[in-house]
Structure 1
Amino acid sequence: MSSSPSALNEHRAVERWGLPQVCAAGVLWGTGGLAVQLVREHAPLSALSISGWRTGLAALVLLVVVAAGRRAGLAVRLLREQPRQVVAVGLCTAAYQALYFGAVVAAGVTVATVVSLGLAPVLLTARDAVRGRRWPRAVELGPVVVALVGLVLVSTAPGHGGGSGGEAPVLGVVLAVASGATYALATALGEPLARSNDPLVLTTATTTVGALGLVPVALVVALVAGEPVLTADPAALGWLLYLGVLTFALAYGLLYAGLRSTSSSAAVVATLLEPVTAGVVAALVLGERIGALGVLGMVLVLLAVAGLGWRREPRAPVPEPAH
Structure 2
Amino acid sequence: MPTSSHLHPHVHVHPQSHLRGLAEVAAASVLWGTGGLAVQLIREHDPLSPVTISAWRMAIAAGVLLLALLALRRGGELVDLARTRPRQLLVVGVGTAAYQGFYFVSVTQVGVAVSTVVSLGLAPVLLTVAESVRHRRAPSRGRLAVLAAALAGLLLVSVAGHESSTGPAPVAGVLLALASGTTYALTTAAGGSVSQQAPPLVLTAGMTLVGAAVLLPCLALVDGPLVTTDPAALAWLAYLGVLTMALAYVLLYSGLRVVAPSTAVTASLVEPVTAAVVAAVVLSESLGPAAAVGIVLVLGAVAGLGRPSTAAGPVLDSA
TM-score between the two structures when normalised by the length of structure 1: 0.91
Equivalent AA in structure 1 for residue 231 of structure 2: P
| SS at 1:166 equivalent | coil
- SS of aligned partner of 1:85: helix
Q: CA deviation at 1:195?
A: 2.0
Structure 2 residue 85 is matched with structure 1 residue 88 = no
* Deviation digits for residues 244-266 of structure 1 (CA, Å, limit 9, x no counterpart): 10000000010001011011000
The aligned counterpart of 2:6 is none
1:296 aligns with 2:293: yes
| Equivalent in the alignment of 2:202 | 201
**Larger gyration radius, structure 1 or structure 2:** 1
Which residue does the alignment assign to 1:220?
220
Read off the aligned partner of 2:232 and give its amino acid letter: A
Counterpart residue number, 2:307: 310
- Offset of residue 167 of structure 1: 1.4
1:317–1:54: structure 2 CA closer, same or farther, 3 Å change rule? closer
Number of paired residues?
302
8 Å CA contact 2:17, 2:318 repeated in 1: no
- The answer to whether the 8 Å contact 2:108/2:173 transfers is yes
**Equivalent pair of 1:54/1:243 in contact (CA under 8 Å):** yes
Cα gap change, 1:289/1:59 in structure 2, threshold over 3 Å: closer, same or farther? same
Letter in 2 for 1:102: V
1:81-122 per-residue CA deviation (whole Å, 9 max, x = no partner) reads 011011101100000110000010000000100000000000
Over aligned residues, Cα RMSD in angstroms? 1.3
Superposed displacement of residue 137, structure 1: 1.3
Summarize deviations over 1:284-309 as a string: whole Å, max 9, x none.
Answer: 00000000000000000001001111
TM-score normalised over the length of structure 2: 0.92
Task: Provide, for residues 205-263 of structure 1, a one-character-per-residue CA deviation record: whole Å limited to 9, x for no partner.
Answer: 1111111111111x1112xx3x2101100000000110110000000010001011011
Counterpart of 2:138, as a letter, is W
| Structure 1 residue runs of 4 or more that deviate by more than 6 Å after TM superposition | none
2:171 paired residue number: 170
Which runs of 5 or more structure 2 residues have no equivalent in the other structure?
A: 1-13
Match of 2:180 in 1: 179
Contact 1:57 1:245 in 2 (8 A): yes
Q: 1:68 aligns with which of 68, 71, 95?
A: 71
The residue identity in structure 2 corresponding to 1:221 is: L
Report 1:1-323 matches (<5 A). Answer: 14-157=17-160, 160-217=161-218, 219-222=219-222, 225=223, 227-311=224-308, 313-316=314-317
Alpha-carbon separation, structure 2, partners of 1:118 and 1:190: 19
SS at match of 2:305: helix
